[in-house]
Every structure is written in C-alpha cells, then in structure tokens.
Structure 1
Amino acid sequence: MSQVVVLGWLIVAGLTAVAANAKNRSAFEGFLVGIFFPVLGLVIYLIIKPNPQKTSTIKEGLLVNSSGERACPSCSELVKMQASKCKHCGSGITPITDAEASSAHEAVYGPMRSHRTILVLLLGIAVAVFGYFSQH
C-alpha cells in the first residue's frame, strides 16, 4: 500500500510540473511544489494566470484584459487598448487593434489548451493506476 501512495504522490508532482509549465512557469519549481504540497500545489497551478513575462513572442503592452484594458508600458497602469496617451502618466502609447490583442491573447493562452489536454489525460491515467493498485 505504501508503494501506491508514493506512486500517487509522484504522479501528482508530475502533473503539477506539467500544469506549471503550461502557465509559463518553471516545471522544476512545479515539481518541487507538487512534492511538498501535492494536491494543493496542483490546484494552485491550475487556477493561477500564466506568466506573460516568459512569453517572448508578444510585444509589451499588447495583452488586453476582459474589459479591453492593457498595462501602460511606462507606468503599468491600466488604459483602454485604443488609447494613444496614458491618462495616468501622460506618455504616448500606440493604440492596438482587436487583431493584435487577439494574437497576443492566443500567444499566451493558446499553449494552455494543449497542456490542459495532456494534464487531463495524465490525471485520468493516475486515477486508473491508483484505483487498480488500491484494489490489489
């Protein structure tokens, strides 16, 4: 029975590493969190937002939130995506189009869709293996 617990523990740690990697965070860090906080770590990495700083394919200031605002590149305050001047610091910014915002959103959140499929598949395998070993 202790082998099943250790196997389940390592599987959850691996799933946590996959979830961390899907959110543009260190897989090794995710694995360590999964080792020390197995279920809690997995849940945390599943609900946190991705880290856009590690995504080099998008330009700074193109990531738009659900209310159509983005961070000003100079002061990091939220401004409308169509704004050409920051209302907080007064610096000039380039307005962005819906297509640019969609492209940036896809660059950050798109990889999570494929990782989510892998994560669900691994979680299903883990449950099946755990169920098999717990009955024997």
Structure 2
Amino acid sequence: MILLFAWIVVALLTALVANSKNRSPIAWALLAIPLGLIATLVVACSTKLPAKDAVTATEPIRLADKTCPRCAESVKDAAKVCRFCGHEFS
C-alpha cells in the first residue's frame, strides 16, 4: 500500500516538474509509472522548452498589409502599385 502511494507521488512530482519545463505532464507522469524516479531525474535535468505562444527569433516579422480596393488582394503596406491588378495607391 505504501509502495502504491509512493508511485503516485512520484508520478505527480514528475508531472509537476514536466509542466514547469513546458513539457507534457501527462506523458511524463505515465512514463514515471514504470520508470519511477529515473523519469523524474531525466525531466528535471532537461532544458526548458519555449512557451507555445512565445514568438521565436526564427519566425519572420510580418509587415503590415493593406487590401487593394479593386481586386481585394492583400499587398504590403509600403506598396505603391498592386502587384495583382496594377491599381495605384494614393
């Protein structure tokens, strides 16, 4: 009975550590059931992943777009002429 309680505590501890490292807490908790403290140590020593909603440096910076009034295509804000229909912006 104590061993079962210890396994549950280790699985919860592993899930908490994985969540703090932006990793899947459910997957790591399930991995901690057969591996025990080994899974906890592995996730604790791993590096923290970037948040899903964080903008990374590899993503290009989007320039502002405007919509052409004649063809309704999206063109860059700095464009003087629509590349699709040739409409000149004032």
Report the TM-score, using the length of structure 1 for normalisation: 0.41
Higher RCO, 1 or 2 (CA under 8 Å, sep at least 6)? Answer: 1
Q: Spell out the pairing of 1:1-136 with structure 2 (5 A cutoff).
A: 3-52=1-50, 54-56=51-53, 58-61=54-57, 73=58
**CA RMSD between the two structures:** 1.9
Where do 5+ consecutive residues of structure 1 fail to align?
62-72, 75-92, 95-136
Q: Which whole-Å CA distance do the structure 2 matches of 1:32 and 1:25 have between them?
A: 13
User: If you compute each CA radius of gyration, which structure gives the higher value, 1 or 2?
Assistant: 2
* Identical counterparts, % of pairs: 25
Matched residues in 1 for 2:37 and 2:52: separation? 27
Residue 55 of structure 1: CA displacement? 3.1
Whichever residue aligns with residue 28 of structure 2, its letter is: G
User: 8 Å contact 1:17–1:27 — kept in the other structure?
Assistant: yes
| Partner amino acid, structure 1, of 2:6 | G
Unmatched 5+ stretches in structure 2: 62-90
Deviation at 1:15, TM superposition (A): 0.3
Structure holding more helix per residue: 1
- TM-score when scaled to structure 2? 0.60
Q: CA deviation at 1:11?
A: 0.4
